[in-house]
């Protein structure tokens, strides 16, 4: 692993919604991790929670389209690359 481009953040805890329907409970979760952002702004870095880039399947939407594409209007590869670079 090249530590100049990748950092591992240890998971301290997770919180999940206590609901009998797993399809509902899965949308009400949080993960608490160690802080790993120290100095990221000064280095010009942006931190992205990777799972947010692949979340999909909301009711009434295209089940194949990630939410981030719809939310930010990233309907072309060029827009996606520009968004990630920015």
Q: How much is the pTM?
A: 0.45
3 compared with 74, residue with greater pLDDT: 74
Domain boundaries, the chain: 1-42, 48-86
Report the pLDDT value the prediction gives residue 77, as an integer from 0 to 100.
92
Residue 46 pLDDT? 67
* CA 28 vs CA 17, 19, 22, 31, 84: distances in Å: 5, 9, 10, 11, 26
What pLDDT digit, counting tens, does each position of 4-52 carry? 777 777 888 888 788 888 877 777 777 777 766 667 778 777 666 677 7
68 neighbors 55 (Cβ within 8 angstroms) = yes
């Amino acid at each position: 692993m090249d530590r100049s481009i990748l950092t591992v953040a240890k998971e301290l805890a997770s919180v999940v919604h206590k609901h009998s329907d797993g399809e509902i409970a899965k949308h009400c979760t949080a993960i608490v991790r160690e802080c790993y952002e120290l100095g990221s702004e000064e280095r010009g870095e942006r931190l992205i929670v990777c799972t947010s880039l692949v979340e999909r399947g909301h009711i009434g939407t295209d089940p194949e389209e990630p939410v981030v594409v719809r939310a930010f209007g990233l309907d072309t590869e060029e827009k996606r690359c520009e968004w990630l670079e920015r």
